[in-house]
Structure 1
């Protein structure tokens, strides 16, 4: 098995050795890719960091229904490549992930689900690996739709997906269903509509799941309203389209006690409202994404539709306010909003190109360059934002490296001897998720080398710092570029 010598624990600076078996289907990159004997290597990990695996509560894998953009296989591979051990899959699949039984086989995406022997998208995704005879190198939870079909007309029915929640006893649940529970509610891609607002908040309260809200709504416009939109001659989206949803849902959180988590917050006004709500003690949290930290709407002039997203990139003042919101703790976590599209779709122009970019495979580097190198936060805080806090939102605990060491270290060793974490000897490895990081190395983002099917990113060619070098799940190395 590979042995990592002299690696540093992320939050204590203790230097340890780690013995970790190589997963049978591990993805290997670099000069050792496919090399015989990799699992017997002793690797000098001096200067590298061992941290809890990253978690992303905001990804789109396009499976079922749009697998020409991404699939469960390629999305999970991209996750492992980016250092992610856990993700939350958003419900804008085709058909939508609303728990409803599929009755129209001719509907888009329906045949994919029914041909696998499943009757709804939740069951389809929970049993994906077994039904497709594949190994998926990331753990994933599911986010159920707030409204039926994500149409915004009628809230989903709790009884159609209640049994898929964690902790709900059901003798018919198998291991795959237990491994991939429903842990949140959202209509991501659009905000909860006024017509369903009360019912969706009641649903969130009854289920005790967080409402993950796409806090932005507009009926017209393609990019942020301002000098850039006017220069491009493209209809603009006013900034207050985000704040209106944030203010509305803060009021509902105050009224109901429901935990509202605001996605991809991007404006100074929204952060001010969220700060005030937190100071009031309301159950609200929020995230932002690497692109809102590192790009303003000026990027549209350079990258074109590769920088088109929803919410749109905002002004430079808003970008700086987003970084400050991370620094002062207003932002609880970072998420990628990994949104794969084909390059042909992205070349349709500002009015017709779909919103979104991919982000899993360069998120750490982009955030490290912007936030750590930029002096806003420490290396340790960035790991918290990308691992500890996202796991908490999903109802899980990030792997505590020191606690694992304390539990597994041989008590008979010399008191001052370097400790060894031998994952082959750990009895319960199910919850283990770790990432090996080079927190200082510089590298260049190359979308052509991504494991994702998609290439729609403005970060191609960027020189960034900090890179995941190996991903460990369940006690085995599932990805390595060591």
Structure 2
């Protein structure tokens, strides 16, 4: 049994003792947690774990370990797996990635990822939901068929599902990596409305270009991507949300003009939400001159004015949540040059520190608001309730005597309540240096190596288990 003494609850400031009955991440005993913060675990509705098909970049095991290291308890797996997570039965065993799925006795990627822990005999340290493709093969030609994946949704024939199927449902629709194509958009929105899920939209499309169009692209001699490539998709989908009432969530918004459009749509009361990522608030396209392709992503890093607009949109509430868009690649792939190197960076293990450094230390938002953006709001988007520490304390201790310290004993919770627990222990003031060589991810493709940041997740708790810790006596 592990007890963290004198830890502070993130939203009330109350000092409590936290008792954790299970965990191999640190020895049993009492630990002084004075000055540490107990918060609901972080959640990320935008991660790529490359499993199946590209496990040399990342696997479910390494991705979940990276997430737990970063304070995350819940993630949503994007559908650009190989094969794509479209719910279609795999017909060609020689197709890339198909053999791994078929040899496991599964007929599609959803089934494979739902049963990953059983197949591989592992106990992953993070909870995860699945996102189904908007189009078959994620190639944009034909919408996926709801009847092929409806059964994987929560509430669909749950009594016949095993515990793995119940734990890892399909909860969203996306062709992430690409915007939904115009020719299938109406079909996808009709499917989204019928299913009751929400559409996660990669709000950006371009056929040419590799970095943001502007002075930096011209200095590099690299074809540029205009900022309105994002706005065109945002405006198109806002009009569709107005027409259909379907909830559309915009991923990794990066430009001032897109934030303005989203701000107006929200004022109109449309069912629109959006996210941005740590790299868009911490870096502008000038970072390409220093970090090269480690800073190449899609959408590309924008201008300094857009970076400042991103921070302003976070501060004024236009941005609903922060997501990492964790996108592992090998360093050899990233060395291919701006035209050939794949887009994306990893982010789960340094997201809190980078965001805290820029947003909280920069005076734009509070510690409490950053936790809301990284935990409370993404959990709600994903259809889950974040852990309410104070409600649990009230249930176990009542309101207590004024000034009396209360204890949250996770071992005393009933099974159903314990199953929903997700907590992170944070040192909001710890200064540390990002070292990718210490990451749990297989990948090292980040421009943040060597950055001096503040705010660090120290432990991650799921249910009654301590699944990760860097707390020392």
| Normalised-by-shorter TM-score class | over 0.9
Q: Equivalent residue for 2:286? A: 298
1:106 aligns with 2:106: no
Q: Equivalent residue for 1:433? A: 422
Q: Equivalent residue for 2:467? A: 478
1:465 aligns with 2:454: yes
Of 427, 445, 449, which residue of structure 2 is paired with 1:456?
445
Of 352, 356, 359, which residue of structure 2 is paired with 1:368?
356
- Residue by residue over 1:85-122, the C-alpha shift from the partner in whole angstroms, topping out at 9 and shown as x without a partner, is 00000000000000001110000000010111111000
Q: Equivalent residue for 1:32? A: none
Of 199, 202, 217, which residue of structure 2 is paired with 1:214?
202
Q: Equivalent residue for 1:122? A: 110
1:419 aligns with 2:376: no
1:9 aligns with 2:3: no
Of 19, 38, 45, which residue of structure 2 is paired with 1:50?
38
Give yes or no for contact 1:308–1:356 (8 Å, CA) kept in 2.
yes
Cα shift at 1:199: 0.3
Cα shift at 1:426: 1.3
Could you tell me which runs of 5 or more consecutive residues in structure 1 were left unpaired when the two chains were aligned: 29-37
CA distance in 1, matches of 2:323, 2:302: 17
Could you tell me which runs of 5 or more consecutive residues in structure 2 were left unpaired when the two chains were aligned: none
After TM superposition, the structure 1 stretch with the greater mean CA deviation from structure 2, 177-186 or 413-422, is: 413-422
1:351 aligns with 2:339: yes
CA distance in 1, matches of 2:174, 2:265: 21
Cα shift at 1:151: 0.8
CA distance in 1, matches of 2:206, 2:457: 37
- Residue by residue over 1:101-151, the C-alpha shift from the partner in whole angstroms, topping out at 9 and shown as x without a partner, is 111000000001011111100010000001100110000000000000001
Cα shift at 1:400: 0.4
CA distance in 1, matches of 2:284, 2:21: 43
- Residue by residue over 1:143-199, the C-alpha shift from the partner in whole angstroms, topping out at 9 and shown as x without a partner, is 000000001000000011111111222443111101001010000000000111110
Give yes or no for contact 2:459–2:468 (8 Å, CA) kept in 1.
yes
Q: Secondary structure at the match of 1:13?
A: coil
Q: Equivalent residue for 1:447? A: 436
1:156 aligns with 2:144: yes
Q: Secondary structure at the match of 2:430?
A: strand
- Residue by residue over 1:44-69, the C-alpha shift from the partner in whole angstroms, topping out at 9 and shown as x without a partner, is 11110000000000000000000000
Of 330, 348, 370, which residue of structure 2 is paired with 1:382?
370
Q: Equivalent residue for 2:383? A: 395
Aligned positions of 1:275-294 closer than 5 A = 275-294=263-282
CA distance in 2, matches of 1:295, 1:133: 40
1:23 aligns with 2:23: yes
Cα shift at 1:23: 2.6
Give yes or no for contact 1:290–1:336 (8 Å, CA) kept in 2.
yes
TM-score (ref. length: structure 2): 0.98
Cα shift at 1:415: 5.3
Q: Secondary structure at the match of 2:31?
A: strand
Cα shift at 1:219: 0.3
TM-score (ref. length: structure 1): 0.96
Cα shift at 1:414: 5.2
CA distance in 2, matches of 1:57, 1:319: 22
1:326 aligns with 2:314: yes
Q: Secondary structure at the match of 1:141?
A: strand
CA distance in 2, matches of 1:101, 1:45: 50
Aligned positions of 1:83-102 closer than 5 A = 83-102=71-90
CA distance in 1, matches of 2:402, 2:240: 55
Q: Secondary structure at the match of 1:136?
A: coil
CA distance in 1, matches of 2:41, 2:172: 20
Cα shift at 1:408: 1.8
Cα shift at 1:452: 0.1
CA distance in 1, matches of 2:402, 2:250: 47
Of 151, 155, 158, which residue of structure 2 is paired with 1:167?
155
Give yes or no for contact 1:433–1:475 (8 Å, CA) kept in 2.
no
1:235 aligns with 2:227: no
Give yes or no for contact 2:352–2:455 (8 Å, CA) kept in 1.
yes
Aligned positions of 1:172-251 closer than 5 A = 172-251=160-239
Q: Secondary structure at the match of 2:140?
A: coil
Number of positions where the alignment pairs a residue of Structure 1 with one of Structure 2: 469
CA distance in 2, matches of 1:167, 1:479: 31
Cα shift at 1:417: 2.1
Q: Equivalent residue for 1:35? A: none
CA distance in 2, matches of 1:334, 1:385: 6
CA distance in 1, matches of 2:423, 2:259: 31
Cα shift at 1:22: 3.3
CA distance in 2, matches of 1:133, 1:115: 15
